[in-house]
Chains A and B, each alone.
Chain A
Amino acid sequence: MSNIASSQTAKGGSVSILSVLKDFGNFRAVNDVSIEIRPNEFFTLLGPSGCGKTTLLRMLAGFEAPTDGKILLDGSDISMLPPNRRPINTVFQNYALFPHMTVAENIGFGLKMLGKSAAEISATVKEMLRLVRLEDAGNRSVTQLSGGQQQRIALARALAPKPKLLLLDEPLSALDLKLRKSMQIELKRLQQETEITFIFVTHDQEEALTMSDRIAVMNGGKVLQIGSAHDIYEHPADRFVAGFIGETNFLEGELTASAGGAGTVNLRCGVTVEALTAKSVASSGSVTIVVRPEQLEMVDPGSPQSVDATVEQIVYFGTDRHVHARLGDGTALTIRQQNRPGMREGLAEGQKIGVAIPPRVAQILKD
Chain B
Amino acid sequence: MASFASTGKIDIKRQTGFGFIAVACLVALYLPILVVLVFSFNNAMSIGASWQGFSLRWYVTLMKNQGFFDSAILSIVVAVAATVMSTILGTMAALATTRVKRWRGQGATMLIITSPLIVPEIVSAVSLLAFFSFIAQAFGISFGILKIVLAHTSFCIPFAYLPIKARLEGMDVTLENAAADLYADRWKTFRYVTLPLLLPGISSGAALAFIVSFDDFTITQLIAGPGETTLPLFIWSRIRNIVTPELNAMCTVLLLVSIAFIILSFVLTKKKQD
- In the assembled complex, the Cα of A259 lies from the Cα of B262 at a distance in Å of 85
- Chain B's nearest CB lies how many Å from the CB of A212? 23
A89 touches B181 (CB 8 A): yes
A96 lies within 8 A of B178 (CB)? yes
Partner of A143, one of B179, B180, B184, B274: B274
* Nearest opposing residue in chain B for A4, CB measure: B183
User: A161: which of B172, B183, B188 is its contact (CB, 8 Å)?
Assistant: B183
Complexed CA–CA distance, A22 and B183 (Å): 24
Residues of B with C-beta under 8 A to A63: 177, 180
Which residues of chain B from 202 to 253 have a CB within 8 Å of any chain A CB? none
Interface centre among B172, B175, B182, B185 (most CB of A within 10 A): B182
Residues of chain B with a CB closer than 8 A to A110's CB: 182-183
Q: Does B197 contact A (CB under 8 A)?
A: yes
Pick the contact of A157: B182, B185, B188, B192 (CB < 8 A).
B182
Q: B192 near A109 (CB under 8 angstroms)?
A: yes
Complex Cα–Cα for A157 and B182 (A): 9
B174:A96 contact, CB within 8 angstroms: yes
Q: A96-B172, A100-B196, A143-B274 are in contact. Are A84 and B178 (CB under 8 A)?
A: no
Q: Which residue of A lies closest to B171 (CB)?
A: A99
Q: B184 to A113, Cβ gap below 8 A?
A: yes
Q: Is the CB of A94 within 8 A of B174?
A: yes
Is the Cβ of B183 less than 8 Å from the Cβ of A5? yes
**C-alpha spacing A176/B180, complex, angstroms:** 30
A84-B193 contact, Cβ under 8 Å, with A92-B177, A94-B174, A98-B178 = no
Of A4, A82, A90, A94, which one neighbours B172 at CB under 8 angstroms? Answer: A94
Q: Least Cβ distance of B66 to chain A in Å?
A: 46
Rounded to whole angstroms, the CA-CA distance of A41 and B178 in the bound complex is 23
Q: List A73-103 residues whose CB lies under 8 Å from chain B.
A: 82-84, 88-90, 92, 94, 96-100
Task: Give the Cβ gap from A153 to chain B, nearest Cβ, in Å.
Answer: 12
Picked from B174, B188, B196, the residue with its CB within 8 Å of the CB of A113 is B188
Interface residues of A (CB under 8 A from B): 1, 4-5, 61-63, 82-84, 88-90, 92, 94, 96-100, 109-110, 113-114, 143, 157-158, 161
Task: Give chain B's interface residues, CB within 8 Å of chain A.
Answer: 172, 174-175, 177-185, 188, 192-193, 196-197, 272, 274
